[in-house]
Amino acid sequence: GAGVSQSPSNKVTEKGKDVELRCDPISGHTALYWYRQSLGQGLEFLIYFQGNSAPDKSGLPSDRFSAERTGGSVSTLTIQRTQQEDSAVYLCASSVRRQHNEQFFGPGTRLTVL
């Protein structure tokens, strides 16, 4: 079956604009994660969705960041009034909620804020 997909693969925007990043997880995966990875850095956790539970938003860096997951499937990460420091690769991952919860990552969206 298909893996995790993300769109767009690249996004260039101007400072102050809003952007939306999309993630389509693997069908049947109830857990979905967003991470941010700056150049040469590790994975920075942003937000976690698990089924119908309230999302864990503890990693969102500011109130300019928000995310939704509709129907327990597709997720959208929105960044409002983008800043240059938001430039990074945004990775989405999904997993089956069980003890052995390996994550399957999408190819990421590379965001560049000019």
Partner 1 sequence: GQQVMQIPQYQHVQEGEDFTTYCNSSTTLSNIQWYKQRPGGHPVFLIQLVKSGEVKKQKRLTFQFGEAKKNSSLHITATQTTDVGTYFCAGPLSNDYKLSFGAGTTVTVRA
Asked if 5 is part of the footprint of partner 1 (rule: CB under 8 A), the reply reads no
The interface with partner 1 within residues 36-75 (CB under 8 A) comprises 40-43, 45, 48, 50, 56
Asked if 33 is part of the footprint of partner 1 (rule: CB under 8 A), the reply reads yes
Cis peptide before 25 (omega within 30 of 0): no
Tally of CB atoms within 10 A around 10: 11
Give the nearest distance from C-beta 12 to partner 1 in angstroms. Answer: 18
Considering only 11, 24, 69, 106, the residue that binds partner 1 (CB under 8 A) is 106
Please state, in angstroms and rounded to a whole number, the distance separating the CA atoms of residues 73 and 64.
23
Please identify, among the stretches 17-25, 64-72, 77-85, 97-105, the one whose residues bind partner 1 according to the rule CB under 8 A: 97-105
# binding residues, partner 1 (CB under 8 A): 26
